[in-house]
Chain A
Amino acid sequence: MLARIIITLVIVLVVAFGGFYAWAWHSEIPAEQPHAASSFDPAIVAKGAKLAAVGSCVVCHSTAGSPSYAGGYPVKTPFGTIYGTNITPDPEIGIGAWSAVAFRRAMREGVDRRGRHLYPAFPYDHFTHATDSDLDAVYAYLMTRAPVRQETPPPDVVFPLNIRLFAAGWKLLFLHHGGHVADTSQTPEWNRGAYLAETFGHCGACHTPRNALGAEKRGEQYAGGTAEGWTAPALNAASPAPVAWTPEAAFNYLRHGFDRRHGHVAGPMRPVVDDLARADEGDVRAIATYIASLNGVSTADNQGKAAAAVQAAQSRELPIHKGETTGSAPPAGNDGAAIFAGACATCHHQGGRFPVSRPVELGLSSIVNGGSPRNLLQIVLDGIHPAPNERGHIMPGFSGTLTDEQIAALADYVRSHFTDKPKWDDTEATLNAIRQNKNFDKNSGKNS
């Protein structure tokens, strides 16, 4: 009897696996001769360039000091490190031998030209909803870049997930096909923004929390996530911003990296904004309109609350002392206050008045008001830096100036002085985790 049950079970498993394998198997799409750049319509190439900028493709498909799209960026996941591949039109290492059909299949199904499953660090769960003509435009753009012969390091993923068939299982569970569906109750601009944010923009890849298998939680869209040791703040009603995002503020931030009620872009969002500067301006406005709508705060509601939040934040600012341009008398009290007075107040007094770096009132910062000290600690350690080739620092880093205890005391002081929020309970542990991650990067010689 037992033998029969086992035999039946084995047969069922074999059949099920056979079915899964047949479903997961993708044939190789024959290699094509590389297309001459002149065979693509320049208008389509230009359209593709702007969509690739919305998608920040270059961020993961390039690494510091190497040509754009030649790959090599380490994407660190809980399951291992995956390196952005070479997507220049080099026929052997890059995608030069890929047809438009093969490119579409990769973007929609996460399968490369040879039929191998790609890891979902490549956000095909977003790109799958893009239109054919948009995908073809990005294809035209990439195929007209300069080919670069640069090998990509192989993925370093834990066993057994390094078996690519597991990626197929992941897709069975989490890859939802189909075009983007417009919301007819919204304006065309909002719908344009929604389409771009959900497809090429893949905003949710960082701003939506992920489940144990690394897929975005569908029920918690834009509830906030993590990215490369930073917190990606919630964009929905849980947004920590004391002044709710408006389409104008979101546009300022996404296009120029600064808004006077929210502050400067920093961390992994910095290169995203660098890319959005090259996107179509109207598209960035549309994305801003969509993103600003996610918090569900109506314009009428927002005005009164925003004014109150600004007033509350300003009332906590340290005053400028008469006759002094720098320095500031220390408030009495703990170390954090003295450190703030000596190291921070020079710029962060009566926020927003300092013309070089335009510091925002700290009481208005999502980072100071958020649930985790992570981003504040990252910024105190490494500062805030401008777009490549622009002058100066926006804020210098203090990792050499302050000890870990002093940084933790400073972060806790900033939280207690500038907000009404409860004390963070994990400041030191978070700082240790950031330090360990940085040491790891330094020792393994990886860029991050």
Chain B
Amino acid sequence: MTVVLNINSQRHEVDADPATPLLYVLRNDLKLNGAKFGCGLGQCGACTVLVEREPVFSCLTPIAVLEGRRVRTLEGLGTADKPGPLQAAFIKEQAAQCGYCIPGMILRAQALLEKNASPTQAQIRDHMQPNLCRCGTHMRILRAIDRAAKDMKTASATPPAPTETAR
């Protein structure tokens, strides 16, 4: 069965079972390898992507539920040459050790900053709670999100609109 997906503002026709988790389609069919397979059980957050404005576990998101909805992955936020504000902040703070959890962290943080341009430390911690890091880089991750929020405000009076992706 063919399912039409809108990923990072690009249309993809995917021939797959409608119950296939989005993560498998991203990685195996579309070669968008930012989202990672961690547990496959919605417990770790390594596979986090955005559906519309909400962070979701792509390992537990059947593609059938995504027709007509906008999906954003790490690849939609920037490139190695032109990283997005969160990606740039994660690089500046060196907020990765093994890095496996980082794409999910960035996407979840992106959802927060789109809704709340000036989150408090407590709000950042509360929001990031579902995503796990096993290397212990939590403090750097929190600093990077805080920095991204501040950088985004200095760069422009308003944070980038949700439709704006790579810069």
Which of A's residues lie within 8 Å of B, judged by CB? 325-330, 335, 338-339, 341-344, 346-347, 354, 356-357, 392-393, 395-396, 398-403, 406
> Does B43 contact A342, Cβ atoms closer than 8 Å?
no
The residue in chain A whose Cβ has the minimal distance to the Cβ of B60 is A343
Q: Which positions 107-142 of chain B face chain A at CB distance < 8 Å?
A: 130, 132
- CB contact between B19 and one of A325, A326, A330 (< 8 Å): that residue: A330
10 shortest interchain CB distances as A-B pairs: A342-B62, A400-B54, A330-B19, A341-B19, A326-B40, A342-B19, A396-B42, A401-B56, A338-B18, A338-B19
B contact residues around A393 at 8 Å (CB) = 42-43, 130
- Taking CB as reference atom, which chain A residue is nearest B17? A330
Q: For the complex formed, measure the closest distance between the CB of A366 and the CB atoms of chain B, giving whole angstroms.
A: 23
A401 touches B65 (CB 8 A): yes
A401 to B63, CA, bound (A): 10
With A393-B43, A396-B42 as contacts: A401 and B61 at CB distance below 8 Å: yes
Q: Provide 30 A-B residue pairs closer than 8 Å at the C-beta atoms, listed in order of the A residue.
A: A326-B40, A326-B41, A327-B20, A327-B24, A327-B40, A329-B19, A330-B17, A330-B19, A335-B64, A338-B62, A339-B62, A339-B64, A339-B65, A342-B19, A342-B21, A346-B41, A346-B60, A357-B41, A392-B132, A393-B130, A395-B42, A396-B43, A396-B130, A400-B51, A400-B52, A400-B54, A400-B56, A401-B57, A401-B60, A406-B65
Chain B nearest CB: distance from A329 CB in Å? Answer: 8
**A357 to chain B: which residues have CB within 8 Å?**
41, 43
Tell me the bound Cα distance from A400 to B65 in angstroms: 11
Q: Which residues of B contact A327 (CB under 8 A)?
A: 20-21, 24, 40
Q: How far is the CA of A343 from the CA of B65 in the complex (A)?
A: 10
Q: Does B74 contact A (CB under 8 A)?
A: no
Given contacts A343-B62, A401-B61, 7 further A-B contacts (CB under 8 A): A326-B59, A338-B18, A339-B65, A342-B20, A343-B60, A393-B42, A403-B69
Residues of A within 8 A of B17 (CB): 329-330
Distance in angstroms from A356 CB to nearest chain B CB is: 6
Provide the residues of chain B in CB contact with A335, threshold 8 Å.
Answer: 64
Q: How far, in angstroms, from A49 to B61 measured CA to CA in the complex?
A: 45
When distances are taken between beta carbons in the complex, the residues of chain A under 8 Å from B41 are 326, 346-347, 354, 356-357
Q: Which residue of B lies closest to A395 (CB)?
A: B42
From B24, which residue of chain A is reached at the shortest CB distance? A327
Binding site for A on B (CB under 8 A): 17-21, 24, 40-43, 51-52, 54-57, 59-65, 69, 130, 132
The distance in angstroms between the C-alpha atoms of A232 and B128, with both chains bound, is: 31
B40 touches A346 (CB 8 A): yes
Give A335's nearest chain B residue, CB to CB: B64
Residues of A near B69 (CB, < 8 A) are: 403
For A65, the closest partner residue in chain B by CB is B122
Bound-complex Cα distance A329 to B41 (A):
16
Report Cα–Cα, A325/B41, bound state, in Å. 10
Interface centre among B42, B54, B57, B132, by most chain A C-beta atoms within 10 angstroms, is: B42
- Chain A residues closer than 8 Å to B55, beta-carbon distance: 400
Taking the closest CB of chain B, its distance from the CB of A417, in whole angstroms, is 14
Given A326-B40, A346-B40, answer yes or no on A338-B60 (Cβ-Cβ < 8 Å).
no
A342-B54 in contact (CB<8A): no
By a CB distance below 8 angstroms, the chain B residues around A392 are: 43, 132
- Bound: A344/B42 CA distance, A: 10
Instruction: Tell me if A403 and B65 are in contact (CB < 8 A).
Output: yes
**Within 8 Å CB of A326, what residues of B?**
40-41, 59
A323 to chain B, nearest CB (A): 14
Give B66's nearest chain A residue, CB to CB: A401
Inter-subunit contact B40/A328 (CB<8 Å): no
Cα distance, A63 to B139, chains bound together (Å): 27
Q: Which of B17, B19, B52, B63 has its CB near the most chain A CB atoms (within 10 A)?
A: B19
Which of chain B's residues have a CB closer than 8 A to the CB of A354?
Answer: 41
Q: What's the Cα separation between A295 and B51 when bound, in Å?
A: 45
With known contacts A393-B42, A400-B51, A400-B56, A343–B130 Cβ distance under 8 A:
no
A325 to B38, CA, bound (A): 13
Which B residues are in CB contact (< 8 Å) with A346? Answer: 21, 40-42, 59-60
Q: Which of A338, A347, A398, A400 contacts B64 (CB under 8 A)?
A: A338
Inter-subunit contact B40/A402 (CB<8 Å): no
Residues of A within 8 A of B51 (CB): 400-401
Residues of A within 8 A of B52 (CB): 400
How many Å lie between the Cα of A106 and that of B66 in the bound state?
55
- Are A342 and B61 neighbours in the complex by a CB distance under 8 Å? yes
From residue A107, how far is it (CB to closest CB) to chain B in Å? 35
Q: Which residues of A contact B63 (CB under 8 A)?
A: 342
